[in-house]
Amino acid sequence: MAKIIAVIGSPGSGKTTVTLKLAQELYCATSSGGVIYISPSLKVPALGVLFPNYTPDSLFSLGNMLNKTDVYEEDILNHLVTVKAMQNFGCLGFKSGENKFSYPELTDDKVQNLFDVLNKMAGYVFVDCTDEERDLISQYALGRADNVVMVLSPDLKSMVYLASNEIVLGDHAHRAIRVLNVNENELFSPIDDVKTHVKNISHILPFSKQIRSQHLDGLLYERAKDKKYRKEISDIINKIM
């Protein structure tokens, strides 16, 4: 049975990067089944962000797979975007250029079908959740999650987001892992002041020049090398495992 980790976050908080880095680090820390990252976003299709240097014939759309009558393990294996150095790690998402009009709306039965198959073939499933209307994958993940990670940035926007969206955590509110992710523009933000207003911050991810370079070079799919950053990611993973 796969463990589901749902990751939510305020706009611009770096949620997609944090989700991917968590999935990669857990993959490196465990031998209990594969690790799959899923992004259901059609506003900013994740494959275009995470794999901009991949050739078009090596990218496979989640929408194309879900457009079939049923989803089988073979379908997931054929649609995973893989990383050469990580044998049992793969990503599912939408391709650049796709949008909410590209495919028919999902149904609850199809989402259940997807997760039923994932439960049999993976040890961990990370869902990069969205707040998009009718995103049934994110809704399912949040409802069934074994762990919920909330990614925030040290700014007013994140505090407002938290105040408006904490109800989304539901039964997970008391045990959600709250992560403050510091990006380049927030190096000199008053983080201690933010921690005063945003209670129960579990971890602070420091700004990493190496992660920034991965963004610029289109290499986010590579494992983080920054030791300080990776230590904090590993500490979060230890709570999830």
Show me where the domains of the chain are located: 3-240
Strand partners, 92: 38
Q: Is the pTM of this model over 0.85?
A: yes
| Per-residue pLDDT at 164 | 78
Tokens of 69: 């009558």
In angstroms, rounded to a whole number, what is the distance separating the alpha carbons of residues 96 and 192? 38
The letter for the amino acid at 209 is K
| Per-residue pLDDT at 173 | 64
| Per-residue pLDDT at 196 | 61
| Per-residue pLDDT at 220 | 94
In angstroms, rounded to a whole number, what is the distance separating the alpha carbons of residues 85 and 92? 17
| Per-residue pLDDT at 154 | 80
Starting at the edge strand that comes first in sequence, how are the strands of the sheet with 86-92 ordered? 81-83, 86-92, 34-38, 122-128, 3-9, 147-152, 177-181, 201-205
| Per-residue pLDDT at 118 | 96
Q: DSSP state, 93? A: B
Residues near 131 by beta carbon (within 8 Å), at least 6 away in sequence: 8, 138, 165
In angstroms, rounded to a whole number, what is the distance separating the alpha carbons of residues 69 and 76? 14
Q: Which residue has the tokens 């380049």?
A: 184
Residues of the chain where predicted confidence (pLDDT) is lower than 50: none
With respect to CATH, is domain 3-240 assigned 3.40.50.300?
yes
Tokens of 26: 């857990």
